[in-house]
Amino acid sequence: MQRALVACLLGCALPLPALALGAEDLVGVWHVLVHYKDTGTENPDTKRWEDRIWVFEKVGDQLHWSDYPIVVFDDDSGRFERAESGRYSRVLDYWEPNAEQQEQLRAGLAFNSRGARDKKLSGSDAKGWSSARRGGGGYKSSRFVTYEETWSIDGLPDKPRFERQDSMGAGGGEDFEGRTLYETTQIESGGDVLRGSFDRDGSRKGTFRLARSGAVHSVSEGGGKSPMGQEMKRTEFIAMLAPGIATLPGERSEAEWREAVTSPRAKEERFALRAAIEEGLRSQVVTEEDLQSQNRLLSNLAVELERLFVEEKKSLADLRKMMVQGEVL
């Protein structure tokens, strides 16, 4: 009896094996919460947050990864607030779910399908998973954007790394490359919570928490049409329009537009800027059918881009990058 007790105590004193996750363990729904600061803004020390939903499915020998960047809670306390302009915006602080929000997270969240993206990853836990296509090449036009995203997961099973790389170019010349990295440092709660560091392009840095959630459902559907008349996601359509604001129509440079919208005639100049942006966007749409079907989207997009240029001091390059990365919806 005494020997058994000693053996039990010694066993309890031994360290528990480190938690590990493979692709099969990732299957399901996850809520991603990021706390970060952005050195690319005028207020680099401001606390910011973003959240999204990831869904992983194992289909045959592939891992399907879906990303939903608009999470819908019944209770938005601490998440959004109405500005003086009447526009809702994220609360500038490190938001954490309250008790009611935690309960909804466990029961299952809802998402708005605007901006949703998904990739099929091939590979293995040992070699890593990636959506990269074999081979290369493809049609490149000097008029239209060439955009490619590669999503990958490696570091399994001990420290999963979730990476998303994107590039945009036209006519063979790359406009930019970007990278978003979620690097796990801790696995908790039996594998239901992952924590680690977050880095987007070296300017947005912070931490992330990946927590398993209940089943999710969509509260809306969205999409646009491609120039070929086939259905495409809204984010892909917006990314296609990005080259249209590389230079704005008219004789003014970007610096001249910046000066104009801060002049005594700022109100009139902002309307002129919005019209120039919309004209640039429309120049990327091939068919009259697409122009008609996406008329409202193009107008709303011009309004938002004008606001970002004037109020948040984003450059045209910043705006193109945000469009391609799905940050302007």
Which CATH fold would you assign to the domain 23-218?
A: Lipocalin (2.40.128)
Domain range annotation of the chain: 23-218, 224-324
pLDDT at 227 (0 to 100): 34
HSE, CB side, 13 Å, CA atoms: give it for residue 48.
Answer: 17
Neighbours of 130 (CB within 10 A): 18
How far is the C-alpha of 160 from the C-alpha of 217, rounded, in Å? 26
Look at residues 94, 102, 139, 121 and name the one whose alpha carbon lies nearest to residue 27. 121
Q: What is the pLDDT confidence band of residue 35, given thresholds at 50, 70 and 90?
A: very high
pLDDT at 323 (0 to 100): 87
pLDDT surpassing 90 at residue 223: no
How far is the C-alpha of 200 from the C-alpha of 35, rounded, in Å? 12
pLDDT at 85 (0 to 100): 59
* CA 115 centroid distance within chain: 8
Query: What 3-state class would DSSP assign to 296?
Result: helix
pLDDT surpassing 90 at residue 27: yes
DSSP structural state of residue 283: T
pLDDT at 269 (0 to 100): 92
pLDDT surpassing 70 at residue 222: no
Average pLDDT over residues 40-50: 89
Three-state SS for 249-279 is: CCCCCHHHHHHHCCCCCHHHHHHHHHHHHHH
| Residue range 252-295, pLDDT digits in tens | 899 999 999 999 999 999 999 999 999 888 887 765 666 667 77
pLDDT at 159 (0 to 100): 95
How far is the C-alpha of 34 from the C-alpha of 37, rounded, in Å? 10
Give the least confident one: 143-152, 205-214, 221-230: 221-230
Query: What 3-state class would DSSP assign to 127?
Result: coil
Beta bridge partners of 277: none
Q: What is the pLDDT confidence band of residue 55, given thresholds at 50, 70 and 90?
A: very high
Residues above pLDDT 70, as percent of the chain: 79
Average pLDDT over residues 68-84: 86
| Phi, psi angle pair for 65, to nearest 5° | -120, 115
Which residues in 177-195 are b (16+ Cβ under 10 Å) and which e? ebebbbebeebeeeeeebe
pLDDT at 292 (0 to 100): 66
Output the DSSP codes for 37-95.
EETTSS-TT--EEEEEEEEEEEETTEEEEEEE-EEE-S--TTTEEE-TTS-EEE-SS--
Alpha helices in the chain (DSSP H): 2-13, 23-26, 99-107, 234-241, 254-260, 266-282, 288-293, 295-311, 316-324
pLDDT at 51 (0 to 100): 95
Give the least confident one: 17-26, 101-110, 286-295: 286-295
Find tokens 């045209």 and name the residue. 316
* Bridge pairing between strands 48-59 and 217-220: unpaired
pLDDT at 248 (0 to 100): 83
Find tokens 């836990």 and name the residue. 125
pLDDT at 135 (0 to 100): 54
Find tokens 């105590």 and name the residue. 9
Give the least confident one: 10-24, 40-54, 141-155: 10-24
Which strands form 110-112's sheet, in the order they lie side by side?
70-72, 110-112, 217-220
